[in-house]
Structure 1
Amino acid sequence: MTRPVTVPHLRDLARLRRVRDRIDREYAQPLDVEALASGVNVSAGHLSRQFRLAYGESPYSYLMTRRIERAMALLRRGDLSVTDVCFEVGCASLGTFSTRFTELVGVSPGAYRQQAAGGAPELPPCVAKQVTRPVRNREAQENRAD
């Protein structure tokens, strides 16, 4: 009996979990798909295909989502500038950071920081993390609800 090519094998899932865990731990470090793939002894193309199949997004998209999620927490804290937050989460370009942040959150980092400082009641960190988690294509989802 042969297994379908589209279903990742358990060994592949364990590799993918290690890659995802590494991204979660080292999000602020310079990471690229080649480095992530070499860490689990597979090609970059294979890793990207398998990661997307298992998690629904590319390793790069997952990394950027994690970085934006951490950036949101730092911006809510309010003691760092947008530029400082950008570099703190591992982004090398303020322009790319701002574009991705706006894509995922729906407002610019500066506007998000102002909204967070606007006197909203303080949420417990566990609740704030879940409620403010960035969601890909948030604008598209909102338009469908109309």
Structure 2
Amino acid sequence: MAHGALAQKLERFLHLKDAPPTLVTRSLRSAELAVTETRDDHPVTRLSESLPAEDAYLVSVKLRDFVDCECWERGRCVIKNDIRAGATYLYDLKRDPRYVIDKPFHSLFFHLPRSVLDDMARQSGAGPIGELAYQPGIGHDDPTIRHLGASLLAALRRPDEANQLFVDHMMLALSAHVVATYGGLRRAEPVRGGLAPWQVKRACERLESDLHGKLSLEQIAAEFDLSVSHFSRAFRVSTGLPPHRWLLRQRVDTAKQLMTVRDLSLAEIAVSAGFANQSHFTRVFSSLVGISPGTWRRERAATALDARDSGAAASPAAGNR
């Protein structure tokens, strides 16, 4: 997860002062997928730059209205239309998409190479997809991409807390959705079979060995000679959770074990259990357990004290019988 090529391209494209925050993952064939947040509240009025032509798409979720947007393709204006916050827009990078920047803007951009989309189609038993279905400057009401974008937006703003498995999972889900929704691919029947018992054991061991979540789904799936999407679905069938959620559960379980050691602070426990910091630990723990780590620790200590007191009180009575 770092500033990738997409960040530099969009910095030039939108005349940004700095490279925007970006999260990067890689497909089975090492093609780079990325998501980045772009924003400028005080832009200088001008036409955007050209992006390098490539066989790839940008999928964008708009986070701010942009009224009367002048959209260009292949060197000419093709439409003037209002851009609405929450809508999804597609751009074919072979067509030199550009627009006139004359108002504040705020967007998420996903970079999806065609090779990744074709791989997703092949994994579903279909051949390469054709052109994605879209019209320049016309938005789609797409709740799935909006939801995925909101999840990744939080990760972009707190990159230290976003483990690689989470980013991989979200980008995989987005790619599959784009292929099915805009590439005309019929959704395949879900994979019903899980991993073999030895594969589950090995996969869980690999995840446990890296509580900080630096391993990618690609690395783990490759150990079983499986595609990333196949491994993710089969792991969920076998464990009931996708890999990144399973890892969060393991972090919380590890933290619970560490919290029985009284001389460790919550900050020390957070880092030892694979969380970025105590704040991250508190948010995840509270979400999964329903109470804060501090409250859980106090309740656990009180329960243990009551049990000791009850045992001590019962001992004399037992001895007088």
Give the AA of the match of 2:208: D
Q: SS in structure 2 opposite 1:118? A: helix
**Cα deviations across residues 91-135 of structure 1 (Å, max 9, x unaligned)?**
224333212211222211122222233362498xxxxxxxxxxxx
1:86 to 261, 270, 293: 270
Q: SS in structure 1 opposite 2:264? A: coil
Q: SS in structure 2 opposite 1:95? A: helix
Cα distance between partner residues in 1 of 2:306 and 2:205: 29
Residues 1:106 and 2:290 aligned together: yes
Give the AA of the match of 1:6: V
* Cα pair distance change 1:80/1:37, threshold 3 Å: same
Percent sequence identity is 28
Report deviation, 1:75: 1.0
1:60 to 214, 228, 244: 244
Report deviation, 1:57: 0.7
TM-score using structure 1 length = 0.65
Report deviation, 1:17: 2.9
2:302 to 118, 140, 143: 118
Contact 1:78 1:113 in 2 (8 A): no
What is the correspondence of 1:13-52 to structure 2 with a 5 Å cutoff? 13=196, 14-27=198-211, 30-52=214-236
- Count of equivalent residues: 118
Contact 2:191 2:233 in 1 (8 A): no
Give the AA of the match of 2:193: P
Greater helix share, structure number: 1
Contact 1:86 1:97 in 2 (8 A): yes
Larger mean CA deviation between 109-118 and 71-80 belongs to 109-118
* Cα pair distance change 1:122/1:90, threshold 3 Å: farther
Larger mean CA deviation between 29-38 and 49-58 belongs to 29-38
Give the AA of the match of 2:252: I
Contact 1:83 1:94 in 2 (8 A): yes
Structure with larger Rg: 2
* Structure having greater relative contact order (Cα 8 Å, sep ≥ 6): 1
Cα distance between partner residues in 2 of 1:88 and 1:102: 18
Contact 1:71 1:86 in 2 (8 A): yes
Q: What stretches of structure 1 of length at least 5 have no aligned partner?
A: 124-146
**Cα deviations across residues 66-109 of structure 1 (Å, max 9, x unaligned)?**
11001011112221111111110112243332122112222111
Q: SS in structure 2 opposite 1:77? A: coil
TM-score using structure 2 length = 0.33
Partner of 1:8: 193
Report deviation, 1:27: 3.1
Cα distance between partner residues in 1 of 2:295 and 2:223: 38
**Cα deviations across residues 12-70 of structure 1 (Å, max 9, x unaligned)?**
42333310222234435633423322333323222111111121111111111111001
Larger mean CA deviation between 103-112 and 59-68 belongs to 103-112
Cα distance between partner residues in 2 of 1:53 and 1:91: 26
Q: SS in structure 2 opposite 1:30? A: coil
